[in-house]
Amino acid sequence: MTTEKLELFEVFIRSKRGLDHKHVGSLHAEDHAQALEYARDCYTRRSEGVSIWVMKSNDICASQEDDAESFYDPSDDKPYRHATYYVLPDPVNNM
């Protein structure tokens, strides 16, 4: 069997109810239903999850590491967005 004709899917697993789905890896599959079954077989052999998401890798639009500078630069000179920027005297510092 060749994987060339199969699509790549990304797999996300929620390890416990209440937590976010986390990316765990990817796999090749024919369609969503098959990807879900493969994901179960591959990634949750030890009951690692309570819920699985699969999505086509092609559907992911990702930022590029190379763009990181221009992407995140604007936050560098805004330390006032952090709580620690505001120095308060000890008696009231617990907010």
Interaction site with another protein (CB under 8 A): 14, 17-18, 20, 51, 78, 80-83, 85-86, 88-89, 91-92, 95
Smallest gap from Cβ 36 to another protein, in A, equals 13
For residues 6 and 22, give the distance between their C-alpha atoms in angstroms, rounded to a whole number: 23
Alpha-carbon distance 85 to 95, whole Å?
13
Catalogue the E-assigned strands of the chain. 7-14, 22-29, 51-56
Q: Minimal distance in Å, beta carbon 3 to another protein? A: 26
1/16 with CB nearer another protein: 16
Q: Which is nearer to another protein, 1 or 83 (CB)?
A: 83
3 vs 58, which CB is nearer to another protein? Answer: 58
C-alpha to C-alpha distance for 42 and 56, rounded to whole angstroms: 17
Rounded least distance, CB 73 to another protein, Å: 16
Instruction: Indicate the Cα dihedral angle 33, 37, 39, 40, nearest 10°.
Output: 140
